[in-house]
Amino acid sequence: MSAQSVLFDAPGPRARRRILLGNVVGAVVVAGVAALVLLRLADRGQLDPTLWLHAVDADAWRYYYWPGFLNTVRAAALAIVGAMIFGLLFGVGRLSSLLLVRTVCGTVVEFFRAVPVLLMMVFFWLLLANGGVENSSFWGVVIALVLYNGAVVAELVRSGVHGLPGGQREAALSVGLTRGQSLRSVEVPQALVAMLPALVSQLVVVLKDSALGAIISYRELLQNARQLGAGEGNILQALAVAAVLFILINYGLSKLAERLSRTMRRTSGKTGTMAAGLDAGVGTGATAVAAGPATGVEEGPGAGTGDRDHPTRWS
């Protein structure tokens, strides 16, 4: 029995016909709407090849798209690094055994999760501009993205650790690790692997939210595309090119993260296989999973047949 048939009943002949009819009707409606939009654009002259050529010529790439792309990547990369550091620190802080640390970290995380990121951008931009800081729009974008997305990452860390089996913590404590050491060495690394898809989606959000910097005059990709369109009279075409670039960037980031996820899962799978071998030899599976190779030390001569062949190991 397949997993699909377990989740819901397979459709019968009449249901399949209704599904096929619905798909055909939906495709016809989408095609009709697309044709209507294209006709309206043609009536207004927006499909003129000259407008599209000006949107993708060499000067457009040299002076608008490429500088905007670099500014977008620069702000997003710095914000991603800062958000990861912020999220790990405050995520682990929310799991601390000290009530004061948990309260402070929880308050900070919930506050920045609740404040709109655009509001924070405007606030820090005005604050830094009035303070005489250079590139205030850039730093306003970066700080806002770090605080908002770092708070989301912190919540992902907390939920990822809580989603682990309780035996991981118990095994770590049983071999003498403290609560903090268990978090740093055992629980958080496993939680990062488990929550990697959610982290990837959040990194894509960081890249897309950097476009909000256009509101505070940060010359990122969207802002430069708007300026190009305003000067050439082809705002639709310039924004279409910018949209395609954003899609390609996000698609590439998602594929890179998927590959990283598969690599980390294969690595963790091999580690789990080694831990299972230690479990079979020592007879303490939870300790072997939590503590790694250190749990396979001298437990006695009954660890396996290989130990009886080398009795001097236990001398």
Cα dihedral: 196, 198, 203, 207 (round 10): 150
- Report pLDDT for 7: 52
Q: Is the Cβ–Cβ distance between 71 and 218 less than 8 Å?
A: yes
User: For 152-210, how does the pLDDT look when each residue is reduced to its tens digit (9 = 90+)?
Assistant: 998 888 877 777 776 766 677 677 777 667 776 777 777 777 777 777 778 888 888 88
- Report pLDDT for 46: 77
- Report pLDDT for 98: 85
- Report pLDDT for 159: 79
How far apart are the C-alpha atoms of 172 and 288, rounded to whole Å? Answer: 9
Which distant-in-sequence residues (6+ apart) come within 8 Å of 145 by Cβ?
Answer: 75, 76, 79, 82, 83, 117, 206, 209, 210
Environment class of residue 154 by beta-carbon count within 10 Å: exposed (0-12), middle (13-18) or buried (19+)? Answer: buried
Which structure tokens are listed for 49? 């090849």
- Report pLDDT for 8: 59
Stretches where the chain sits below pLDDT 50 are 1-6, 274-315
Q: Is the Cβ–Cβ distance between 222 and 207 less than 8 Å?
A: no
* pTM value surpassing 0.75: no
Cα dihedral: 7, 9, 10, 11 (round 10): -130
- Nearest in space to 142 (alpha carbons), one of 168, 116, 117: 117
